[in-house]
Amino acid sequence: MFKLFFKQHIGIVYTVRDLFTGRKKLRDCFSTAPFDITFLALVIALLTVGLVMMFSASYIYAWYDKSAAYDPYYYIKKQVVFAIIGVILMLAVSFINHDIFRDASGIVMAIAVLLLAVVLINPYEVAGKEEFKRWLYIPVIGSFQPSEIAKLALIMYLAFSMEKYHKLVEKKAWMIFPYMIIILFVCALVYLENHVSGTLLIFGIGGAMLFFGGIKWQWFAFAGAVVLVAAVIFVFNADKFLEGYASERIRIWLKLLTGEDLTSAEARGSGWQSLQSLYAIGSGGLFGLGFGNSKQKHMYLPEPQNDFVFAIVCEELGFIRALLIIVLFILLVARGFIIGLRAKSKFGALLAMGISFQVGLQAALNIAVVTATVPNTGISLPFFSYGGTSLIVLLMEMGMVLAVSRNGERTKKNAG
């Protein structure tokens, strides 16, 4: 029994063994069938626009930033390197038969949980963010956030498990409980890092995966009502559940939402970033101030290259062009779902849809934060926000979707 469980959950070990012993050919691990060119074009379009806008948003801040050596090209030079590495890995991953991802899902999940535990014990402190325990440091690789890996690991593991137990998932309502335990366990580890936004994102991804996997919709109606009630209680009692900085952000957001005036101290303190973001969006109007002409990036909007890069996009490009970028995200997510629906296996379908949903949810939450539709939670914008770990992992995820599209197209061709 234990051997069977081990083989199913860490199948990649047996795959490697079979390759060395000759039981499996190396060519079986790869696919050279055509991939979905539309999906790739959308990825490259978003990546290109993201790099250009991240540079525009960052160069003034880098010019005055001691940690960036007062080099206006500091962030863009590093981000371009991350992008090149990410694109190479994306293309390499796209050749891998997605059955290999299934075999590796158990060990990837185990590594992600281990990293989340290690970061709580021995976190890498980032200057000015000592209250957070989100980063690990590895020589050569540098600092990274294990939560970025955990998002992908959860998608892979749930896709694998819900394919394996699909009959139970579709017929037995109680199957939601073991999966909820797994999701909540990962969420708890991320929450302990003082990473509320990451917790919410992982919870949303996990819930979507359960829905895609076939959990009965009645459970989601019940769970949705529970989550809604819990969210209302949570928001209005944030000071009891969250660290001071997080509860203060929610309090400021409620004031902005209801139109209540902020005090001078609030406007210059916790509400500063949200206010400057709204000023940037408002000053952009329909057509924007022009590329490079943002005023808020001149040391008004804090760290514009990160979570609030979309505010600079709106200010420089205007509402209409910003809306076109949102359309690109929608098209990318939609194409990912189409690839999932055409996949030859349930695992491939869940993997493609889960990754696509993650990108869409993260983009939607980031834009909602920038527009003060939801509290300031510190969620990055895919393809746009500065960050090596997130960009490389994101592009590898895009490679996985492309790998699923290769297998799907191959099945369709053979069937014809």
Q: Which two tokens stand for residue 363?
A: 């983009």
Could you tell me if residue 226 is inside a domain? yes
Residues 6+ apart with CB under 8 A from 323: none
Range of the domain at 350: 34-415
Angle, helices 388-415 vs 74-94, to 10°: value is 30
Contact, 14 vs 394, CB < 8 A? no
**Measured between alpha carbons, how far is 361 from 71 in angstroms, rounded to an integer?**
33
186 within domain boundaries: yes
Q: How many domains does the chain have?
A: 1
Give the Cα separation of 355 and 340 in Å (integer): 10
Q: Which helix (H) or strand (E) holds 143?
A: strand 142-144
Rounded Cα gap, residues 78 and 416, in angstroms: 46
CB 321 within 8 A of CB 297: no
Structural domain includes residue 6: no
pLDDT in tens, the chain (416 residues): 344 444 555 656 556 656 566 666 667 778 888 999 999 999 999 999 999 999 999 999 899 888 778 889 999 999 999 999 999 999 999 999 888 999 889 899 999 999 999 888 877 766 555 556 777 877 666 677 888 899 999 999 999 999 988 888 777 777 788 888 999 999 999 988 888 888 889 999 999 999 898 877 766 677 667 777 776 666 666 555 565 566 677 777 777 777 777 777 777 777 888 889 999 999 999 999 999 999 999 989 988 999 899 999 999 999 999 999 999 999 999 999 999 999 989 999 999 999 999 999 999 999 999 998 888 877 899 999 998 889 999 999 999 999 999 876 434 443 33
Domain membership flag for residue 48:
yes
Q: How many helices (H) and strands (E) does the chain have?
A: 17, 2
Q: For residue 13, tell me if it sits in a domain.
A: no
The pLDDT score that the predictor gives to residue 409 is: 46
Q: What is the pLDDT of residue 388?
A: 85
Name residue 367's beta-bridge partners: none
**Residue 131 domain-assigned?**
yes
Q: How far apart are CA 400 and CA 343, in angstroms?
A: 12
Instruction: Decide if 21 is inside a domain.
Output: no
Supply the pLDDT for residue 261.
Answer: 77
Residue 408 CB burial class (10 angstroms; 0-12, 13-18, ≥19): buried
328 is a domain residue = yes
Q: CA 135, 136, 142, 143: dihedral to nearest 10 degrees?
A: 0
9, 37, 274, 275, 333 from 42: Cα distances, Å: 33, 9, 30, 32, 10
Does the pTM surpass 0.75? The reply is yes
Residue 287 gets the label, from left (phi > 0), alpha (psi -120 to 50) or beta, of: alpha
CA atoms within 13 A on the CB side of 250: 18
pLDDT score at 13: 59
- The CB-side HSE value for 387 (13 A sphere, CA atoms) comes to 23
DSSP type of residue 175: G
Instruction: Please give the radius of gyration of the chain, using alpha carbons only, rounded to the nearest integer.
Output: 22
